[in-house]
Amino acid sequence: MMIATNVSGRSYGTWIALLLSLLSIAGEVSAFGIIKPSSVGRPATRLSAQPKPKPFDPSYKAKPPTFNKATSLWEPSVETEEQPYGPWGSFLRGGPAPFVVRALNPADYDQAVFKYMAQTGCSRAEAQGNMDAFFNNAADWAYQKGEEARGRPVVDYTELKPKQAALVVTWALFVTPFLGRCAYLIAFTDKGWEITLDDVLSIGGMS
């Protein structure tokens, strides 16, 4: 009975930690002004309070998306290009956070992209790269935009860096499963925090 109680307590703690992680990602979507209690897609003033971001490619001249007051949504123009890459492209550029946003809230992700395009006059590819960076780490992204406003070089977030992609894949295929295995053993077995490396690597070590 004591073991069952401890396992149950650890299980609750693990699931609470997972829930907080998901809420953190959802909070980043809300911070960009996409999710509101009263409406979805209404433009927020938080990004407007920042210095206006500079586009990486100033030669891009296509007509930007516009805001439809009737629907409270950003709409692409007839010149807006198709998505340059899908969720896995976001995963390789920005890690799991933008991938989760696109998988769970694709419409909200597109709204963030259209809004950024309208504010900066940049391409859809550049807007997606910036939103992937934002959802991955909003604080670092905002700091970089502040530095760019003070004259620092503009970062090309559309670039798929091989080393960064390799690191993301390594975390996805090896590190994350390893940590997940540790969390499982701690939460759902009687080993608790006394697990060893052999327990983690052992396929049959579930007891």
User: Is the C-alpha dihedral spanning 161, 103, 140, 156 positive or negative?
Assistant: positive
Full DSSP string of 112-162: HHHHHHHHH---HHHHHHHHHHHHH-HHHHHHHHHHHHTTPPPP-TT---H
What is the per-residue pLDDT for 30? 40
Which residue in the block uniquely carries the two structure tokens 């990004």? 47
With cut-offs at 50, 70 and 90, classify the pLDDT of residue 139: very high
Q: How many angstroms separate the Cα of 70 from the Cα of each of 114, 119, 136? A: 17, 20, 31
Q: Is the pLDDT of residue 35 over 60?
A: no
Tell me, yes or no, if the pTM score tops 0.75. Answer: no
Measured CA to CA, the distance from residue 102 to residue 107 in angstroms comes to: 8
1: confidence class by pLDDT, cuts 50, 70, 90: very low
Average pLDDT, the chain: 75
pLDDT at 57: 79
What is the spatial distance between Cα 78 and Cα 58, in angstroms, rounded to a whole number?
A: 20
Q: Which of 85-89, 90-94, 164-168 has the highest mean pLDDT?
A: 85-89
Residue closest to 116 by CA, chosen among 157, 153, 168: 157
pLDDT band at 184 (very low <50, low <70, confident <90, very high): confident
Lowest-confidence region among 50-59, 60-69, 95-104, 174-183: 174-183
Q: CA nearest 55: which of 154, 124, 158? A: 154
pLDDT at 93: 87
CA distances from 80 to 1, 126, 127 (A): 62, 12, 12
Give the residue with greater pLDDT, 142 vs 31.
Answer: 142
Burial class (CB in 10 A: 0-12, 13-18, 19+), 102: buried
